Chains A and B, each alone.
Chain A
Amino acid sequence: MFPILNTMPKMLPIAKIIRETSHVKTFVFRHQLGAKPGQFINIWVPRVDEKPMSVAMSNDVEFWLTIFAVGGMTKRLHEMKVGDLVGIRGPFGTSFEYESGDHLVLLGGGYGAAPLYFLASEAVKKKCTIDFIVGARGKEHLLFLDRVKKLGKNVKLHIATDDGSVGTKGYNTQILESVLSSVKPGNKKMTRVFAVGPELMMKRASDMCFAHKISCQVSIERYMKCGFGVCGNCCVDDSGERMCMEGPVVDHLRARKMKDFGAYHRDKVGRKITF
């Protein structure tokens, strides 16, 4: 009568660990997760904590989680070794939407580049052309550049850093503006923007896309406890939509109706925190 809705964690050994930057590692698991670009999982480190993380790659044989050592759980995860077990629940949430042959403009801020790489790697198989714009504080925080370069001639990489250590000095949204300005009205290819990163960056990107009347999807990160639509901690104002179910990927026109988009999020007890 009811669908099988087992959300128990699946215990998986870490199959491989790739160091990306001084604070970022990619954890590889040999398991067919079946995630689509934009979706997330909950990763449980026994005795420590469980957190939602976006999926950086998922195919028939393995999936990747690219994780920044920022808090207690992620630091503990960074100390773990190949063969150590973690619990995985998911995939959960919505994914990026596009059609074969579209022109995709990907805007990754900081660690947002990882899920966008997953999107790009899928989209190139569907004959999409891609402008991949990444931005970070400095060279040492840029992720996945070599992998993006290997995606082939249909992917053009643009880099911005705050300190100018590589690429254009300034914000990645400045590059986005020039890319959007070059989109000719009546262009046969559908242009879609996908922004993942700090919410204020996504808000700026959305403002630009709105002005240019270009389609845009953003990934709204909110504090999640369950990940499957029950706890109510990730609901946005005033629609009450759950970002673990009706999100995290939403069309920016929907995001723009959220009172909290670019303004505030909520902590683990539901208190508003301004960006």
Chain B
Amino acid sequence: MKVDLSVEFCGVRFPNPLVLASGILGVTAASMANVVRHGAGGVTTKSLWLEAHMGHPNPVILTTEHFMINAVGVPDAGIEKAKEELAIYNSMKKAPIIANIIAGRKSDYGQIAEEIAKLNPDIIEVNISCPNVEDELGKPFACSRDDAAAVTREVKRRVKKIPVIVKLSPNVTSLLEIAKSVADAGADGFCALNTWGPGMVIDLETRQPILANKVGGVSGPATKPLTIKAVYDLYRATKLPIIATGGMMTGEDAIEALMAGAQLVGVGTAVHYRGIEVFGKMRDEMGKWCTQHKVKKVEEIIGTLKY
């Protein structure tokens, strides 16, 4: 049976629901195109800043079989590099691209959004939720209903036609309160969720935190049920399209996220656990599940959770 794995998200057709999550393999156009060659249905850039941003010293990423913790600190070369790399990606484009943007101040979000919109990404994702730059930038905007809404409104005002989705933080008291506020401010969808924490890992011999930044955002296999629950809540509360990101390792995980209400599934940490081939593997696993369950179009699964 031929299964149609394509999904429409914010008016953009993705060949399959698996998108590269922001922060992983998203530094260059060539790297993102390589991810698409390995089976991804779309890609998200690493967070783009207006000006160069250095990020944290090494070590920045640690993993065990249970989790990944990172404090890369959103390094980026600034808008000129983004112009060059997005033009290259668009010239060899095989799947949609989501441009993830970040700024330190609300007004700067508007400016980076406007500059990035000129480069014609399919969707703009607003990163207001990175948990490992708090020392530098203060509490993420995603932790305040008013700040999150203000950033969303400013970005929407500046980018006009391009759909804008907001990457939410799990590290809040009420995810739905923030989400509703962002939706009222005009967001076209959500990416749920950014990393958890921050957390810390200590080296016993030296009695020191291993990450140079001391703390970092936690992701990986164990976060899947947390993602599923967030997607379930968001889908019921807002009906806006959702990218489920966090702990998605297999095709079955992706199916589960779709049932909970996601249109797309962000794949990031899984690159470490199953290799860069994970996109093709998950795509094939989704196809196999659909065949076994006589599902002709994967879109039919979205939000079909029975409760």
Residues of A within 8 A of B (CB): 2-9, 11, 42, 44, 46-47, 49-51, 85, 87, 89, 225-226, 228-233, 235-242, 245, 266-271
Q: Does B135 contact A (CB under 8 A)?
A: no
| Residue from A89, A229, A266, A267 within 8 A of B272 (CB atoms) | A229
- Quote the shortest CB–CB distance from A208 to chain B (angstroms): 27
Taking a contact as CB atoms under 8 Å apart, the answer to whether B61 and A225 are in contact is yes
Known pairs A2-B65, A4-B65, A232-B25; A240 contacts B33 (CB<8 A): yes
Residues of B within 8 A of A (CB): 24-28, 30-35, 37, 46, 52-55, 57-65, 68, 72, 75-78, 81, 88, 92, 201, 203, 205-206, 208, 210, 212, 221, 249, 269, 271-276
Q: Chain B's interface: helix, strand, loop or mixed, by majority?
A: loop
Instruction: Please indicate the chain A residues that have their CB under 8 angstroms from the CB of B201 in the complex.
Output: 8
Known pairs A46-B206, A231-B60, A231-B61; A239 contacts B34 (CB<8 A): yes
- Quote the shortest CB–CB distance from B58 to chain A (angstroms): 4
Taking a contact as CB atoms under 8 Å apart, the answer to whether A51 and B58 are in contact is yes
Instruction: Please indicate the chain B residues that have their CB under 8 angstroms from the CB of A235 in the complex.
Output: 25, 27-28, 30-31, 34
- Quote the shortest CB–CB distance from A46 to chain B (angstroms): 5
In this complex, what residue of A is CB-closest to B63?
A7
Q: Give complex CA distance A91, B276 in Å.
A: 19
Taking a contact as CB atoms under 8 Å apart, the answer to whether B76 and A270 are in contact is yes
Q: Give complex CA distance A90, B253 in Å.
A: 30
Q: Give complex CA distance A197, B31 in Å.
A: 25
Q: Give complex CA distance A253, B167 in Å.
A: 42
Instruction: Please indicate the chain A residues that have their CB under 8 angstroms from the CB of B53 in the complex.
Output: 269
Taking a contact as CB atoms under 8 Å apart, the answer to whether A8 and B30 are in contact is no
- Quote the shortest CB–CB distance from A240 to chain B (angstroms): 3
| Residue from B30, B81, B210, B212 within 8 A of A49 (CB atoms) | B212
- Quote the shortest CB–CB distance from B282 to chain A (angstroms): 13
Nearest 9 A/B pairs, CB to CB: A240-B34, A50-B58, A235-B31, A232-B25, A240-B30, A11-B205, A271-B77, A240-B31, A232-B27
Instruction: Please indicate the chain B residues that have their CB under 8 angstroms from the CB of A239 in the complex.
Output: 30, 34
Q: Give complex CA distance A240, B33 in Å.
A: 7
Looking at B34, B52, B54, which has the most chain A CB atoms within 10 Å of its CB? B34
Taking a contact as CB atoms under 8 Å apart, the answer to whether B75 and A270 are in contact is yes
Instruction: Please indicate the chain B residues that have their CB under 8 angstroms from the CB of A42 in the complex.
Output: 58-59
Instruction: Please indicate the chain A residues that have their CB under 8 angstroms from the CB of B221 in the complex.
Output: 2
Q: Give complex CA distance A270, B54 in Å.
A: 10
Taking a contact as CB atoms under 8 Å apart, the answer to whether A240 and B63 are in contact is no
Q: Chain A's interface: helix, strand, loop or mixed, by majority?
A: loop
In this complex, what residue of A is CB-closest to B92?
A238
Taking a contact as CB atoms under 8 Å apart, the answer to whether B272 and A5 are in contact is yes
- Quote the shortest CB–CB distance from A260 to chain B (angstroms): 9
- Quote the shortest CB–CB distance from B168 to chain A (angstroms): 22
- Quote the shortest CB–CB distance from B188 to chain A (angstroms): 27
Q: Give complex CA distance A228, B182 in Å.
A: 36
Instruction: Please indicate the chain B residues that have their CB under 8 angstroms from the CB of A7 in the complex.
Output: 61-64
Taking a contact as CB atoms under 8 Å apart, the answer to whether A47 and B208 are in contact is yes
| Residue from A44, A232, A238, A266 within 8 A of B26 (CB atoms) | A232
| Residue from A50, A240, A241, A267 within 8 A of B59 (CB atoms) | A50
Taking a contact as CB atoms under 8 Å apart, the answer to whether B272 and A230 are in contact is yes
Taking a contact as CB atoms under 8 Å apart, the answer to whether B58 and A49 are in contact is yes
Beyond the given A232-B25, A238-B92, please list 12 additional residue pairs across the A-B interface where CB-CB is below 8 A: A5-B273, A8-B64, A225-B61, A230-B24, A232-B26, A232-B46, A235-B31, A240-B32, A269-B53, A269-B55, A269-B76, A270-B28
- Quote the shortest CB–CB distance from B48 to chain A (angstroms): 11
Q: Give complex CA distance A267, B24 in Å.
A: 17
- Quote the shortest CB–CB distance from B78 to chain A (angstroms): 8
Q: Give complex CA distance A245, B31 in Å.
A: 13
| Residue from A9, A230, A237, A268 within 8 A of B55 (CB atoms) | A268
Looking at A47, A245, A269, which has the most chain B CB atoms within 10 Å of its CB? A269
- Quote the shortest CB–CB distance from A154 to chain B (angstroms): 38
Looking at B61, B88, B221, which has the most chain A CB atoms within 10 Å of its CB? B61
Instruction: Please indicate the chain A residues that have their CB under 8 angstroms from the CB of B205 in the complex.
Output: 11, 85
Taking a contact as CB atoms under 8 Å apart, the answer to whether B65 and A269 are in contact is no
Q: Give complex CA distance A271, B51 in Å.
A: 12
Q: Give complex CA distance A2, B31 in Å.
A: 24
Taking a contact as CB atoms under 8 Å apart, the answer to whether B54 and A268 are in contact is yes
Instruction: Please indicate the chain B residues that have their CB under 8 angstroms from the CB of A230 in the complex.
Output: 24-25, 61, 68, 269, 271-272
Enumerate 25 A-B pairs (CB-CB under 8 Å) in ascending A order.
A2-B221, A2-B249, A3-B273, A6-B63, A8-B210, A9-B59, A9-B203, A44-B59, A46-B203, A49-B212, A85-B206, A225-B58, A225-B60, A225-B61, A231-B25, A232-B27, A232-B28, A232-B46, A235-B25, A240-B28, A242-B31, A268-B55, A270-B27, A270-B28, A270-B75
